[in-house]
Amino acid sequence: MSYRCRLQLFQPIQIVAALTLLIITVTLQLIYLPYAEDDAYIHMRIARNLWQNGRPYYNPLIAVMGSTSPLWILLLAPLSLLGELMPLAVSILNSFIITATCITWATIFSSSTKTTGSFYWILALLVAWGALISASLSLMETPLALLLVGIAYVALSRKNTLWALPVTLAVFTRPECLVFAVLFAIHRYREKRPVSMLEILAGVVPLAAFIAFELLLFGSIYPHTAAAKAIVYQITTAEFVKLLSLATFGSKVSGTILPFSVALMTVLLCILPFTLSSGKSLQAKGSRYPDACIFLLASGIILTLYGVKHVLVFSWYTPLMMLPFYGAALWLTLSQRWLISSLGYLALLPLTATTALFVAGAFRTEFSPLFESGARAKHLLAIGRELQRSFPGKRIMAPEIGALGYTYTGEIIDGLGLVTPAALPFHPLAVPLQRPAGYIGAVPSRFAAQQDPDIILGLSSFLGELLSSKVAERYTRIILPPVSMEDLALLSSGKVFGSDHIELLIRKDLTPPSEMLNKL
């Protein structure tokens, strides 16, 4: 059955399943809205500045590419008209995006295997949702990127000349999607069909437009944040594996099944290429290779790039690898060999556990894999709001600039240099003398001394070297909990990133209002 048929002839039960998924997603998005990730607010601040000032800069006067997702910034910019309701609007927007993404990838999975009926399609829909829900609840752009990748592949399979348009847009939503774009182009080349001018323009025009956009506003097409992270973070192989597992499954699942997951995925990655190449009904029409192999190859390349560079992986990175991987696991469940089929189902167990925790988190917040990081961002939103009221127009230095910078509209000096290039000459800090670990982005005391900010704010593990220096003597030191008091009661360890408190340093010539301290 062709993609055209599959897309036009959804069964009533499939429509009901998709609508139910949308309702569940909207509900979860609203429940989890206070626990969005810190980085989501970086995008929202940049988008707000673009709409208000015509420049997509984190700080209006500093021309730095503070986001790797220019398309996402352009999409969010008009939502800044809603003021304080902007995060709510992003949450609702992501509900529709993730639902559309799941429908698209469920169609790809079921069409590639030529399965009939609705059971496998609905199963694929749920698997895609489980792989994407973390990024969506975080208010990040990954679901949009994978929606564009999915649309591009459907268009390519239907020999639609516009297939290059969505995959090019995906690259400017998540740069890792360049891997999908290259593989799709190779797939298209192997078909040996004539290339039309419209097909070329579909890829070249958006590519040229975004390159011009970035060169005009930033003077570069390479995100400054990527360059800064390569300098600041010094992650070992063991730390990379641990952080990758945490980002993929969350702390509650990762801590119990990490060895199992690593062993199982290693086995699957070894047998998948051989199994898929000879599997029943996996040969895509007009192609020499199963559709599964294209996505699995993309997943492996992205994982390899992360591993080689020891990238600090977050929960919204992993769907780019895991959605294709889980799709391949789904293909394995159709095998006539019970051992291979069982391995496919086993590969889905960690995903099932993590997804169940997200659902459980709607009733018991502390069950959520996002709870610790989301609670931190929630607290920083409140702190930024109080600082805006008490110290408007002051200069604040911080290692985490998302939630704080969204509610505090003045200048934020990024102690890690992601949006403040002047910080980079002072990095990296030595481990363990100046910071606890290579994945901890600590603020250099020499940079703080140079900038002399009015206020310094951050978790104690990010400010250890600074607190032990003479710079700290210039400030009144205030100790705050790492999360709000209501969330602190639910925080099992009482710590966030190894810190049991936030340090708020206010220059001694400034007097913090007692009302502000009482609220914090």
At position 118, the amino acid (one-letter code) is: S
At position 406, the amino acid (one-letter code) is: Y
Going by C-beta distance under 8 Å and a sequence separation of 6 or more, which residues neighbour residue 435? Answer: 429, 441, 442, 461, 462, 464, 465
Cross-strand pairs, 477: 505
Tell me how far apart the alpha carbons of residues 452 and 507 are, in angstroms, rounded to a whole number.
Answer: 9
Q: What is the pLDDT of residue 8?
A: 47
Q: What is the pLDDT of residue 266?
A: 63
At position 480, the amino acid (one-letter code) is: L
Tell me how far apart the alpha carbons of residues 462 and 472 are, in angstroms, rounded to a whole number.
Answer: 14
Q: What is the pLDDT of residue 284?
A: 37
Q: pLDDT in tens for each of the 520 residues of the chain?
A: 344 444 445 788 999 999 999 999 999 999 999 999 999 999 999 999 999 999 999 999 899 999 999 999 999 999 999 999 999 999 999 999 999 999 999 998 887 776 667 888 999 999 999 999 999 999 999 999 999 999 999 999 889 999 999 999 999 999 999 999 999 999 898 888 888 999 999 999 999 999 999 999 999 999 999 999 999 999 999 999 889 888 888 877 666 655 555 666 666 666 666 555 554 433 333 333 456 678 888 988 999 999 999 999 999 999 999 998 888 888 778 777 777 777 778 888 888 888 999 999 999 998 898 899 999 999 999 999 999 999 999 999 999 999 999 999 999 999 999 999 999 999 999 999 999 999 999 999 999 999 999 999 999 999 999 999 999 999 999 999 999 999 999 888 888 888 999 999 999 999 887 777 777 7
The residue among 58, 39, 48 whose CA lies nearest residue 313 is: 39
Q: What is the pLDDT of residue 27?
A: 97
Tell me how far apart the alpha carbons of residues 206 and 202 are, in angstroms, rounded to a whole number.
Answer: 7
- The two structure tokens encoding residue 340: 């291979």
Residue 91 CA to its chain's centroid (Å): 14
Q: What is the pLDDT of residue 292?
A: 66
Tell me how far apart the alpha carbons of residues 398 and 382 are, in angstroms, rounded to a whole number.
Answer: 15
What is the CB neighbour count within 10 angstroms for residue 375? 24
Supply φ then ψ for residue 371, to 5 degrees: -60, -50
pLDDT digits (tens, 9 = 90+) for 304-345: 999 999 999 999 999 999 998 888 888 778 777 777 777 778
- Alpha helix segments (H runs only) across 334-439: 338-347, 349-361, 371-390, 402-407
Residue 370 CA to its chain's centroid (Å): 12
502-507, strands of its sheet edge to edge: 412-414, 396-398, 455-459, 502-507, 475-480
Kindly report each contact of residues 119-127 with a partner whose C-beta sits within 8 Å and lies 24 or more positions away, as own/partner.
Answer: 120/330, 120/334, 121/14, 122/13, 122/14, 122/17, 123/330, 124/327, 124/330, 125/17, 125/18, 125/21, 126/21, 126/355, 127/326, 127/327, 127/330, 127/348, 127/351
Tell me how far apart the alpha carbons of residues 496 and 479 are, in angstroms, rounded to a whole number.
Answer: 14
Q: What is the pLDDT of residue 9?
A: 57
Q: What is the pLDDT of residue 380?
A: 97
pLDDT digits (tens, 9 = 90+) for 40-97: 999 999 999 999 999 999 999 899 999 999 999 999 999 999 999 999 999 999 999 9
**Which pTM does this prediction carry?**
0.92
List, as one string, the DSSP characters of 58-127.
SSTT------S-HHHHHHHGGGGGGGGGHHHHHHHHHHHHHHHHHHHHHHHHHHHHT--SSHHHHHHHHH
Tell me, what DSSP letter sits at residue 455?
E
Tell me how far apart the alpha carbons of residues 193 and 421 are, in angstroms, rounded to a whole number.
Answer: 47
Supply φ then ψ for residue 456, to 5 degrees: -125, 135
- The two structure tokens encoding residue 421: 């290039």
Q: Are 454 and 507 a contacting pair, CB within 8 Å? A: yes
Q: What share of the chain is helix, strand, coil (3-state, %, to 5)?
A: 65, 5, 30
Q: What is the pLDDT of residue 263?
A: 60
Tell me how far apart the alpha carbons of residues 515 and 390 are, in angstroms, rounded to a whole number.
Answer: 9
